[in-house]
Structure formats: structure tokens, C-alpha cells
Structure 1
């Protein structure tokens, strides 16, 4: 099957802004626009095939038809499609939150957990995230800080800049500060336990729900060890193409491709799909005599059985695949 463009699902969470629409060409009337779910087969927001003979088909429906030929042999060990990929615009801070592990989520939520990574695409001066605890905490300290509105004082506050990579294992207390746009690659899960939300109210006028006791069951209350950013290695391939490994875990391998009037060639040989998210400039995806043009903010899916393909032009992309085991 040949590659195809993706039409994302959109989310209008109260902390979003307008940059995904203004700078990343997202066509939706939602405001604020907080997230676009670029690649999703999650029932809370499935993406849709945007080009080719299957245009208009939901991604989950196509997956049910094509199975392994679409996602690849490396996905066969999993009972579900492994990843969900988003673009996120945080005009205001997100809640302080934590995601459960697979073990806890399967036992208590009948779902899988959520490990994720962020690639910071843009960050206003002074932008920050919270990542892990500042010191070892007791559960009662967390409860007291939430009640007093001082929860952020217990966390490590880290400055972020464009190009930073943040890997967030399940169980890590974290929050995204204001003024940040990022690409998120995560497990295919929508489980989030809010710890603290600045006493904000939702569209219904009520305080947004917290999940403090569940969060305390899954959160790691020890300081995160070492750097929050994984080591990255850039590989200059020649022909105006540079590939940089960003992060990898059981559920995804993520690389960044930079093209300067360049060409990058690869083969989809039945092992894994590849999702391409264009985060800058414009690139052409050439495969089987067909060409898809991706501008900033557009995404495409390369099926595992697509064969040889090339990415050409001057732009930057995030490439997500299943890792070898």
C-alpha cells in the first residue's frame, strides 16, 4: 500500500492557543486549539486517511482491514497499535499530572499506560517545564501542597528551548509551562491523572477534576536521576540529509530528519510503519511513482509494505517507527 496523508483529530482544551492554526496550517474552527492528534487510532480522537484510494476512511478502520501489512511485523507482539502522535500548543500551563504504567493501567483502568516524549518545536523566552520531584516526597506532603496551591514548589523546574527532547517515563510527575509548542510521541493511551490544575474551571463552570489518590498510587516521588534529555547522535548521510536519533523505548523509535535541498531514502520492508510529521519547510514523499507534498504541520503514514521511498526537499521531519526487539 502506498503512503497517504493524515487528517488529525483536534482538541480545544482550555490551555490551548492559535499557533497550530496560524503556523502549522490546521484547518479547524475550534478555539482555543490545544492539540492535533496527527496519528491516532484512539477512540477519543481517531485520525483519518487524507489522500489516496482510502481517503475519508478512519485510521482505525483501515488498520482493521490491513493489519500487519499496514503496521508491520514488529507490531504483531502487541494487541493494539502502539503510538499516538500529537502537535501541542500550550498558551497557558498544563496541569501537573502523571501517567500510569502498563501494569497499573491494565489492572485498574483496562487500558495501557503512557510513556511519552516531547520534541520542543518553539518556546518563548523564559519557557519551562516541570519534570520530576525536587526531592524525595511523602504522599501527605503532596496532598498538603495541592490543598495549599503550592504543588509546583515540590517539582524540578527546567528551562526549555527549541530542539530540546524530553523523555517522560510512566510515573513521572510533570507539567508543560506556557508558551511552548511541541511534538509529542506517546503510547496509544489517553490516561492522565491530574494532581493540580491551578483551580481552573472547565466549560461547565466547575473546577476541573483532579485524580490525586490515583496519581499518588502511580507517581515516583523520588527525584529523577540524571538528565531529563536523552543523548542524541546526529548522522550526516550525505546528499543534504542529517538524521538524529531522539528517543526509543518498547513502543516507539523517534528520529529527526533535516533536509537541505537533500534526499533521504529508506525501505518499508514489512517490519514497521513510519509516520512522517513535517515540522518545518516543505518536503516531498516519493514512493511507487506517487508524490505527496508535506508542508509544515502536515503528516503522512508510510505502511510497512510500501517498499522503497524517499523524502526530498528543504525541511525538517519527525520520523516515528517501531523499534527492533
Structure 2
């Protein structure tokens, strides 16, 4: 018999920055502090430097990673860069304060220097934003690497932000953040973040975090790590290519892509509503609103707002019925 999607336990992450209230409201759970601003959904990778933190588990406490390792054919169709790899990571991120300016390595850099086939291209789907809330993405003009090094060494975050695009955001904005592009999420922004399955971050602005300088360059040293950073400007035309907007409350199609097509090789993020048919393959789900049914070859599964699931590839094509609005994250096409 074909397997059904598996319900997941809450997986809140304690962090240096404030937030988490909007995650708790969506998920119908209670936070234990005001510094639990992230939840990792269907995660089979852990936080950098930690062997367990971040890993998702099923309702009975079994790690999803262990299920995938034990039966990769069922979960991923046998594909994966390492045992337990599902090809993506989905997060909920509720920024109660501005995050630091940072950058992620691309696949080429990660393969050469971090022994990993994945970099950390990511994308933000804005689920909610306070009026005037913004993200920062890319340089406005070409920057001199020496100026960036000075700003980094002096922890001059104000200089960095002045030289970056500030983009006010609203619910339904989907923004791709290519690896190598400096970025920061601003206070008051609640996103679902799809990304490659790593936790590789190079902090240019560690002084507003609990990290030290020596913990901010992935153990590579800054001379090497800074080679992952793009110094050329991100034009306004390029920003337009990296952004789309969708109405999350009145989707035009049963299955609606929420990100620019440039994201497809890395991950896909869709909104599935009544009548949607999602092709077979591993998927991470968040039920954003409503209730309904996931119909799979193995049977029907009742779903409701706030629930999260991991869908094994062997579940086959599956359908959404009812009033449920389901966020679906899937691995990329390359």
C-alpha cells in the first residue's frame, strides 16, 4: 500500500533574535521564550556546528532523517547527495528584530571549500509584514572589496545597509535570494523560507548576534570566505526578475507557483488549494489556512490550519480538497 504523508511535531529553534509569535499563532502552539523566531519544517539537516538541533521529528518522536535513511526509495525515490538528504529545507521565520547582513556560498564554492554539493540559495515568501517593513537585498552600486572589508572589520552595519537595496514587502511577495548576494530580513517580516539543505552563512555583521568573528566565516577564514560574496551591483531590473507577487488568499489556479522561475533548479514553492494535483516526489507542507483533505493513493488524510507534514515520494500524485490552503515546498529540478 502506498504511504501517507507524515505529520510533524513543532520544531521551534531558539535563536539570538526575537520573534516567534506569528509562528505560534499559525501553528496553534505556545512558545517558551520570545527568542524562538524559526521553525524548521521537514528538516533532515541540523544547525551548523550541531548534530541534532533543527532536525524534524514525527508525532511519535522519530527523526524524519532516520526514516529517510532507512528507506530512501520510499521517501525520495532513491535520490540524495547523502543518506537522509531530501534536497531542500523549509523554514518559518518571524523576525522580531532586524537580522544581520550576511551572505551564503553558491554550489561551486561549497563544493570546492565545504565538501558539499549544495550552497545556500534561498527564497522568501512573505506571509505577513508590518506596515513599512522591509528586506535588504543586493548592492545598489558596485562596491570596492576594501570598503566591504573595512565595514566588516569595524562592524559598520549602517554602511552596509546604506549601500544595499531596501525593499518594502507585503503578504504574497516571493523573493529569490541567489547565493553570493548580501541580504538581511528586517524587523516585522514573517516569511516561509525555502532553501538548499544547508546552514552555511557568512556573517558580515556578527556584532548584533551572539556569534563571534571567529564563528562568522564557516571556519574558512575571512580571506577565503569573502570570495563567496558578490561585489557587483544588483540592478533594479535584476531585482524585478528576482521577485513575484501572488494573492495568497485568492489563488487564480489550484496549484500556483509562488517564486520566480529562476528558483526552480534549487527548490519549488507552491500554493495548493481545492482541485490541486501535486506530482509525486518528496514535499514539505504547511497548512496556511482552512481545512480539507489530502487524497493519496494510500488513502485520505484530514488536514487543518497550522499542521505540517512530510510527503514521501512513494505517496504518488496527491490532491487537495476543501477550504485548505497548503504551502508546498519541493526539491529543485537540478
> Scaled by the length of structure 1, what TM-score is found?
0.84
Alpha-carbon offset, residue 184 of structure 1 = 0.6
2:79 counterpart of 1:67: no
Question: Kindly tell me: are residues 136 and 302 of structure 1, through their superposed partners in 2, closer, same or farther at Cα, counting changes over 3 Å?
Answer: same
Map 1:162-177; keep pairs closer than 5 Å: 162-177=171-186
**Correspondence 1:138-157 to 2 at 5 A:** 138-146=144-152, 147=154, 148-149=156-157, 150-157=159-166
Q: In the alignment, which residue of structure 1 is the partner of 2:204?
A: 195
How far residue 151 of structure 1 moved from its aligned partner, in angstroms, is 1.7
1:277 aligned to which of 276, 286, 305: 286
Please say if residues 164 and 229 of structure 1, whose CA atoms lie closer than 8 Å, have aligned partners that are also in contact. no
Per-residue CA distance 1:126-166 (angstroms, 9 max, x = gap): 11111000100111111223324422111111111110011
CA RMSD across the alignment: 2.6
Which of the two has greater helix per residue? 2
Q: State the Cα deviation string for residues 284-316 of structure 1 (Å, max 9, x = none).
A: 3233334232313x2112211113432122232
Q: Which residue of 1 aligns with 2:230?
A: 220
Corresponding residue for 2:258? 246
C-alpha displacement of 1:30: 4.0
Secondary structure of 2:112's counterpart equals: helix
SS of residue in 2 equivalent to 1:185: strand
Secondary structure in 1 matching 2:67 = helix
1:119 aligns with 2:125: yes
Partner of 1:43: 46
Alignment partner of 2:275: what SS?
A: strand
Q: Deviations over 1:29-57 (max 9, x none)?
A: 2432110001100133110123xxxx421
**Superposed displacement of residue 72, structure 1:** 2.5
Conserved 8 A contact 1:279-1:317: yes
Paired position in structure 2 for 1:183: 192
Task: Give the alignment partner of residue 13 of structure 1, picking from 12, 15, 18.
Answer: 15
Distance 1:201 1:30 in 2: 17
Counterparts of 1:10 and 1:233, CA distance in 2: 27
Q: Is the 8 A contact 1:40 1:46 kept in 2?
A: yes
- Which ranges in structure 2 are unaligned for 5 or more consecutive residues? 48-53
Look up the match of 1:110: 115
Q: Structure 1: which 5+ runs fail to align? A: none
Alignment check: 8 A CA contact 1:120 1:182 kept:
yes
State the secondary structure of the residue aligned to 1:275: strand
Contact 2:264–2:333, Cα closer than 8 Å, also in 1? no
The structure richer in strand per residue is 1
Match among 307, 318, 321 for residue 312 of structure 1: 321
Q: TM-score, normalised by structure 2?
A: 0.82
- Please give the secondary structure, in 2, of the residue aligned with 1:36: strand
Select the residue among 207, 221, 242 that pairs with 1:229.
242
Please name the residue that 2:35 is paired with: 32
Map of 1:292 onto structure 2: 302
SS of 2:324's equivalent in the other structure is: strand
Partners of 1:22 and 1:81 in 2: CA distance: 28
